[in-house]
């Protein structure tokens, strides 16, 4: 027997093939999530930067917050930051006249939308975490079954030579290696994307606080 992938696949038992198939599905799913999240994050970052520049110009203009709140901002293409600040602007339009109550109402709207946006950014990361943590154990399961196959071959042949058990050992090692190959990219992708989400959560919190300061100053009685 030559220890090529094709030969190993031919000599694998049904259970080991099922293990490799499951890990193949896990690998494809994790790669799809990583690609989709990268594209999504890049698009959201661009839209958020464009929205921030547009709103900053409106607030710094003559109309101030009222002009920004009444502006026709494209809500479908404003990014995560646009949806959070947009919720604050909507709350500002319908807020009570009392400054403290208005500020509190805007703060609650910002906090609610920020939580939704962070959860949206985290979508799919749970799958990466699951693949990264379980793939080595799935590979280990295949390893155990490969060792069992090796001992069965040894018992059937009545001898303990290396040639008798080499196919089962090779099968066990392949499933172990496959599990690690699936888990390592998933863990790296999860850590990178989670770090990106954490950074954007900080950006959202800082932008919300800055917006709330602007709202508070605009509601103060004129001297």
Tens digits of per-residue pLDDT, 169-198?
Answer: 777 778 888 899 999 999 999 999 999 999
Q: Which residue has the tokens 């290396």?
A: 162
Domain that holds residue 180: 5-219
Q: What is the pLDDT of residues 79-104, one digit of tens each?
A: 899 899 988 888 888 877 778 888 89
Q: What is the pLDDT of residues 135-151, one digit of tens each?
A: 999 988 888 877 777 77
User: pLDDT at residue 55 above 50?
Assistant: yes
What is residue 9's predicted lDDT score, i.e. its pLDDT?
66
Q: What is the pLDDT of residues 20-46, one digit of tens each?
A: 889 999 999 999 999 999 999 999 999
Which segment of 3-17, 67-81, 101-115, 137-151 scores lowest on mean pLDDT?
A: 3-17
What is residue 10's predicted lDDT score, i.e. its pLDDT?
67
Q: What rounded mean pLDDT belongs to the chain?
A: 83
Q: Using CA atoms, how far apart are residues 23 and 178, in angstroms rounded to an integer?
A: 7
Which residues, 6 or more positions from 175, have their beta carbon under 8 angstroms from its beta carbon?
16, 19, 20, 23, 139, 141, 142, 143, 145, 146
Cα of first residue to Cα of last residue in the chain, in angstroms, is 91
Q: pTM (2 decimals)?
A: 0.82
Number of domains the chain contains? 1
């Amino acid at each position: 027997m030559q220890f090529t992938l094709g030969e190993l696949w031919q000599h694998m038992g049904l259970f080991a093939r099922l293990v490799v198939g499951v890990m193949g599905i896990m690998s494809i799913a994790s790669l799809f999530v990583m690609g989709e999240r990268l594209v999504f994050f890049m698009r959201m970052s661009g839209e958020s930067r464009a929205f921030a520049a547009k709103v900053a110009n409106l607030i710094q203009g003559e109309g101030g917050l009222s002009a920004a709140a009444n502006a026709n901002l494209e809500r479908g293409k404003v990014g995560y930051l646009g949806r959070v600040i947009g919720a604050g602007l909507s709350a500002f339009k319908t807020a009570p006249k009392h400054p403290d109550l208005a500020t509190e109402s805007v703060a609650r709207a910002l906090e609610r939308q920020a939580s939704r946006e962070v959860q949206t950014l985290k979508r799919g990361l749970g799958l990466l975490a699951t693949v990264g943590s379980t793939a080595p154990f799935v590979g280990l399961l295949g390893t155990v079954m490969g060792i069992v196959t090796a001992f069965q071959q040894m018992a059937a042949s009545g001898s303990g030579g290396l040639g008798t058990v080499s196919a089962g050992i090779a099968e066990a090692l392949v499933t172990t290696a496959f599990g690690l190959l699936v888990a390592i990219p998933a863990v790296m992708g999860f850590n990178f994307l989670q770090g990106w989400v954490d950074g954007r959560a900080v950006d959202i919190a800082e932008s919300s606080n800055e917006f709330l300061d602007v709202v508070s100053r605009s509601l103060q009685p004129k001297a």
